[in-house]
Amino acid sequence: EDKVVQSPLSLVVHEGDTVTLNCSYEVTNFRSLLWYKQEKKAPTFLFMLTSSGIEKKSGRLSSILDKKELSSILNITATQTGDSAIYLCAVEVASNTGKLIFGQGTTLQVKP
């Protein structure tokens, strides 16, 4: 059965800290891995990773995929209270449908 596992499930840090969120997967046919940020409502897209070892960066957020280890990390540097959210990792299985399999999410709380 295809599976995506995130760790830790929750994390509390102080503003300015750096955090690393982990995602590992076991799927039959991997196509891509996506990170989303979920605040009160819609998961909003952060990164899509398809190639191993290539870092994607957006401001203080960065992510990298390791296909050998079947995992990805999401780094957030100099955290701010606005980074508080649930971070979702999802894997797209190779098919013609684009179906996503989600992990359970990491809840990040950034305290002032």
Partner 1 sequence: EPEVTQTPSHQVTQMGQEVILRCVPISNHLYFYWYRQILGQKVEFLVSFYNNEISEKSEIFDDQFSVERPDGSNFTLKIRSTKLEDSAMYFCASSESVRRGYSNQPQHFGDGTRLSIL
The binding site for partner 1 (CB under 8 A) comprises: 31-32, 34, 36, 41-45, 48, 50, 88, 90, 92, 95-105
Q: How far is the CB of 17 from partner 1 (least distance, A)?
A: 26
Q: Encoding tokens for residue 17? A: 């800290």
* Eight-state DSSP code of residue 40: S
User: Considering beta carbons, is residue 85 or 103 the nearer one to partner 1?
Assistant: 103
* Residue 30: CB minimum distance to partner 1, A: 12
Closest C-alpha among 98, 89, 91, 92 to residue 8: 89
- Cβ-proximal residues to 1 (8 Å cutoff; 6+ apart), any chain: none
* Residue 73 or 86 with smaller CB distance to partner 1: 86
Which tokens sit at 35? 């990170």
CB 16 to partner 1: min, Å: 29
Minimum separation from the CB atom of position 59 to partner 1 (A): 16
Q: Which is nearer to partner 1, 82 or 95 (CB)?
A: 95
Q: 17 or 50, CB closer to partner 1?
A: 50
Which residues in 14-26 are b (16+ Cβ under 10 Å) and which e?
eeeeebebebbbe
